[in-house]
Amino acid sequence: MALAITDRFGHGGVDLTVFDPSLHRPDDVARGFPYRADPMEPLLNAPAHMMSIRTGDPDDFLRWYRRASPYSSDGDVYVTRPTFGQYLSDSFHDLRQRWGSRDGVLHCVPEEVVDLVRADDGSCTLSTPHGSHYGFDYVALCIGWSSSADTPAGVSPAYPLRPTIREALQQPTVAVVGTGLAAIDVVRALLISGYRGRITLGSRFGLLPAIRSTSPSPSLKVLTPRFIEETEGLDLQRLLDLIEAEADANGIDVSVPRRVLNQRRPRIDVADYLRRSRDERWAALFVAICDECGPALWNKLDKSSRRAFRSILHRFFQAWCNPMPPQTGDLVLEALDSGSLVVRNGLAGFDARTLDFVDGAEERFGMVIDATRNASEPLASQDSKLVRSLLARREAVADAFGGLTVRFGSWSLVNPKESTIENVYAIGSLTQGTRYYVNALDSILRTVDEAVEHILAARRATPVLSG
């Protein structure tokens, strides 16, 4: 998706144009890949009270959900991803209906943008595959994630879940490649469908997401906004020391994550690790740090520390900062205790029937399901036609840590001359090299708010570029 804005006639009215191929598909409009309809109904990994898309109204999703569902409750309810997708779609349709009252027009173009050209006066022309051209004053790039690597021949992809699970139910043994949230989706779908065979999760490190604690989130006492603002710079060891200090200030034992980080390939009792992530407060502390100050801390890290963090620590922080829902955790623990679920680390390779491990072991299965995404590699797409266009025209720079190089806080692009392009912005995953990206919704909402604030300030300070 790309957003483009034209300041009409200089009198404050704003035309907004949304480019998105999903506009051709009414059932998918505004949902995004993770939230499309799925009969297996995978769960969100965060409770409903954390899922509002309106930053000034944290209860927006809960109100929508209570209207939409006669079975909604006031507790920490975890709704399905398709349900959240319907909320996104309804919110977009509501925006379309209300935009006209804002002295502007909302245009919806059911195409992708493949090229962006900036004129000498800074105005932007966007092009679509069918040769249409559109002119704008401001552009925001919201192109989302790249797809996972191609699934090997004969290996079933995790999504869509329904056909994969239907086939898996016929097999006595199933292997799932990956141990992240996608793999947990597959395990949950198998278990609630009554699968009675043996499930093996295999990955290089064998680390599952933590289980989200039901305890209140810790209040940060060391890593406060003022402290971070006054900190000149950080290296990796100093960052880890500060996290330890935060844990001490909250009386939280971090021996479990410390032991995991100190091992090249964690050797842990998976069931014990999951129970302790649920019952102790260390996992909740990592969630609070990542959500509240992760981007600001990342911005303070020197480049060598960022490189080390991304290659060594990122996969662990992803597992701790993106915990699975408690009810899913209970299912996983029950399966681990019964022996019907096994977690293996040291995965070296796989094909349609076999997992190979670095110790030379080879295990055969009735079916292998690919649920991987390499946490050490960039996740934001740098291979779209639009991004290639920006790089080729030297209007953007690929960030070594993922996405495009942007200015922290405004999210405007930076060109090879290290000059800020004040009217082209990146939102969400494309900013992950500059803004540490853990929680997708939080990252998108905050970059949107800050980018829009920057656009509004620019409109007040500069003449209209085109009318």
Which DSSP string do the residues of 323-368 spell out, in sequence order?
Answer: PBPHHHHHHHHHHHHHTSEEEE--EEEE-SSEEEETTS-EEE-SEE
449 three-state secondary structure: helix
User: How far is the C-alpha of 416 from the C-alpha of 404, rounded, in Å?
Assistant: 11
How many CA within 13 A on the CB side of residue 249? 14
Report pTM: 0.88
Question: What's the token pair of residue 298?
Answer: 């990342």
Domains and CATH numbers, the chain: 2-147+378-461 (3.50.50.60), 156-209+324-370 (3.50.50.60), 225-321 (no CATH)
Angle between helices 326-338 and 181-192 in degrees, nearest 10: 70
Q: Which residue has the tokens 């709704």?
A: 79
Reading the chain (467 residues) residue by residue, the pLDDT tens digits are: 555 555 544 445 678 899 988 888 877 788 877 888 888 889 999 999 889 998 888 899 999 998 887 766 666 789 999 999 999 999 988 888 887 655 678 888 999 899 999 888 889 999 999 889 999 999 999 887 655 456 678 899 998 899 999 999 999 999 999 999 999 999 999 999 999 999 999 999 899 999 998 888 899 999 999 999 999 889 999 999 999 999 999 999 999 999 888 876 667 899 999 999 999 999 999 999 998 899 999 999 999 999 999 888 998 999 999 999 999 999 999 999 999 999 999 999 999 999 999 999 999 999 999 998 644 444 455 567 888 889 988 889 998 888 899 999 999 999 888 888 889 999 888 888 898 877 778 888 888 889 988 888 877 765 443 33
Other CB atoms within 10 Å distance of the CB of residue 334: 13
How many CA within 13 A on the CB side of residue 266? 22
- Which 8-state DSSP code applies to residue 435? S
Model pLDDT, residue 429: 82
Q: Which residue has the tokens 């992240």?
A: 180
User: How far is the C-alpha of 16 from the C-alpha of 380, rounded, in Å?
Assistant: 24
Model pLDDT, residue 462: 54
- Which 8-state DSSP code applies to residue 33? G
Model pLDDT, residue 261: 85
